């Protein structure tokens, strides 16, 4: 249990540090809207995963209130995606964009498989690294669509 | 199907109709900000209240929902955020202190009354430690934080021709 708490604490601190350090002040709102949109998507996605019995979260911050993890989808996942949006390539080269999507989908999937392996934060019942990469690609695509649309009304 | 669930479906439909009918097209982005930010508060707060055993929601929209997640999906992710959208979009900006307090209390009060009636006559919500004025106060605080955040965010929102 100590190990899980340490992993979460560490992930929270790293996320907060990265967000504070690398998100420019003038793009605060852009980062915020990305962050809170991803929270919703992550929540719905996590709900479906649990509903269909694909994954379990043996260690949870709110043990009786829910079968779902809190921090992973409330803070850590959105942080990943904020950086996905901020580092999105400005040149419109298809290959460059595909690589960008893949890097982030793989990074998130790898993070989750590592904590699956070394802690009880995650338990993959009918889930694996590959399905994680695919679902992350879909989520990243949805987020990108929404955020780019939203940005048109933001100065 | 049990009648309480029909009520939930009714509330959800009402919210959808309200969004379609009452939300001006050029305010779509404003509405997204209000809708999405509120969950930052309600998500952990809702989990905490259930975890402590203060409140429970025996009947949920999805019949087996309580096996997975015992906070109220309909309340925290649907009804409350949509109420918050209209609260802020129709907030009269040139209002005296006293009147704005009345505005807050009437929104939160209406919300509280509905919840108390539901608590008494349906299985949608069950209070344990929870008291009606906890709802009143927590709704006022949430609306306040959400509104302040929106006022800050709005400074950089501009009107665009295409949706």
**Tokens 């707060």 map to which residue?**
B45
State the pLDDT at residue A141. 97
> Which of A121-130, A133-142, B1-10, B142-151 is predicted with the least confidence, judged by mean pLDDT?
B1-10
Distances (CA, A) of B13 to B10, B16, B33, B74, B114: 5, 5, 21, 11, 16
B110-122 pLDDT, tens digit each: 999 999 999 999 9
Residues in chain A predicted with pLDDT less than 50, given as ranges, are: none
Measuring CA to CA, which residue among A53, A71, A64 is closest to residue A4? A71
State whether A37 and B36 contact (CB < 8 Å).
yes
Question: What does pLDDT average to over chain B?
Answer: 92
- DSSP H or E stretch at residue A126: none
Q: Is B1 exposed, middle or buried (0-12, 13-18, 19+ CB in 10 A)?
A: exposed
The number of domains in chain B is 1
With CA atoms as reference, the chain B residue closest to A155 would be B156
Percent of chain B whose predicted confidence (pLDDT) is above 90: 74
pTM over 0.90: yes
**Predicted pLDDT at B76:** 84
Nearest-neighbour CA in chain A from B50: distance (Å)? 5
Q: Which long-range contacts (CB under 8 A, 24 or more apart) does A96-105 make?
A: A101/A137, A101/A140, A101/A141, A102/A133, A102/A137, A104/A80, A104/A136, A104/A140, A105/A133, A105/A134, A105/A136, A105/A137, A105/A140
In a domain, B19, yes or no: yes
CA A15-A19-A20 angle, to 5 degrees, is 120
Q: Which residue of A has its CA nearest to B72?
A: A65
Q: Does B32 touch chain A (CB under 8 A)?
A: yes
Q: Which of A64, A74, A150 is facing B29, going by the closest CB pair?
A: A150
Chain B residues close to A61, C-beta within 8 Å: 47
> Could you read off the pLDDT of B15-44 as tens digits, one per residue?
999 999 999 988 999 999 999 999 999 999
The pLDDT of residue A92 is 85
Domain membership of residue B15 as a residue range: 3-154
């Amino acid at each position: 249990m100590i190990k899980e708490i340490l992993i979460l604490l560490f992930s929270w601190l790293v996320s907060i540090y990265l967000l504070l350090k690398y998100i420019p002040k003038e793009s605060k709102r852009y980062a915020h809207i990305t962050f809170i949109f991803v929270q919703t998507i992550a929540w719905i996605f996590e709900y479906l995963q649990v509903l269909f019995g694909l994954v379990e979260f043996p260690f949870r911050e709110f043990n009786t209130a829910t079968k779902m993890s809190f921090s992973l989808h409330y803070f850590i996942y959105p942080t990943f995606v904020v950086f996905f949006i901020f580092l999105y390539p400005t040149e419109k080269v298809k290959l460059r964009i595909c690589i960008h999507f893949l890097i982030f989908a793989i990074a998130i999937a790898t993070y989750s498989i590592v904590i699956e392996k070394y802690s009880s934060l995650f338990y993959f019942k009918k889930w694996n690294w590959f399905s994680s990469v695919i679902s992350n690609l879909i989520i990243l695509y949805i987020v990108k669509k929404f955020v780019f649309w939203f940005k048109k009304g933001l100065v | 199907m049990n009648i309480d669930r029909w009520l939930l479906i009714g509330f959800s439909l009402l919210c959808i109709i309200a969004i379609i009918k009452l939300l001006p097209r050029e305010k779509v982005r404003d509405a997204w900000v209000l809708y999405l930010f509120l969950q930052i508060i309600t998500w952990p707060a809702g989990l905490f209240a259930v975890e402590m055993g203060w409140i429970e929601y025996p009947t949920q929209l999805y019949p087996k929902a309580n096996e997975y997640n015992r906070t109220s999906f309909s309340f925290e992710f649907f009804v409350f955020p949509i109420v918050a959208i209209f609260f802020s979009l129709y907030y009269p900006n040139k209002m005296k202190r006293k009147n704005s307090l009345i505005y807050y209390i009437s929104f939160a009060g209406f919300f509280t009354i509905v919840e108390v009636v539901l608590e008494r006559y349906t299985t949608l919500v069950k209070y344990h430690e929870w008291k009606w004025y906890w709802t009143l106060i927590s709704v006022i605080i949430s609306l306040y934080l959400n509104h302040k955040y929106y006022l800050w965010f709005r400074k950089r929102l501009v009107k665009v021709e295409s949706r």
